[in-house]
Amino acid sequence: MTTPTRSKPEDMARLAARLFSSDDGEQMLHYLDSLTYRRVLAADCPCRVLRHLEGQRFLVAHLRALIARGRQP
């Protein structure tokens, strides 16, 4: 394992695209979607639970955006 360094955003986008380009990567993205986007909370759920889920959704959306950027020529 290499030592973490400051990486350029375009490098991270290409890395994310490579990581999630396999069948396994696609399955993982679908799994993350099922845990976040497809999850519905009750109307009376605590605010902290809603905020936690929205944070998870943001992270999945960020990964998907990186992947999309990394797949562009």
Q: Is the pLDDT of residue 42 over 60?
A: yes
Q: Is the pLDDT of residue 1 over 70?
A: no
Task: Give the mean pLDDT of 47-55.
Answer: 97
Q: What is the mean pLDDT of the chain?
A: 92
Chain position carrying tokens 């929205």: 54
Shortest CA distance to 62 belongs to which of 4, 6, 12, 22? 12
Q: Which domain holds residue 64?
A: 9-71
In a domain, 59, yes or no: yes
Six-digit token string for 6: 């400051």
pLDDT at position 20, please? 96
In a domain, 25, yes or no: yes
In a domain, 2, yes or no: no
CA distances from 38 to 42, 59, 63, 69, 70 (A): 13, 15, 17, 24, 25
Could you read off the pLDDT of 5-38 as tens digits, one per residue?
668 988 999 999 999 999 999 999 999 999 999 9
pTM exceeds 0.85: no
Domain count, the chain: 1
**Cα gap 69→39, rounded to integer Å:** 26
Shortest CA distance to 62 belongs to which of 9, 5, 3? 9
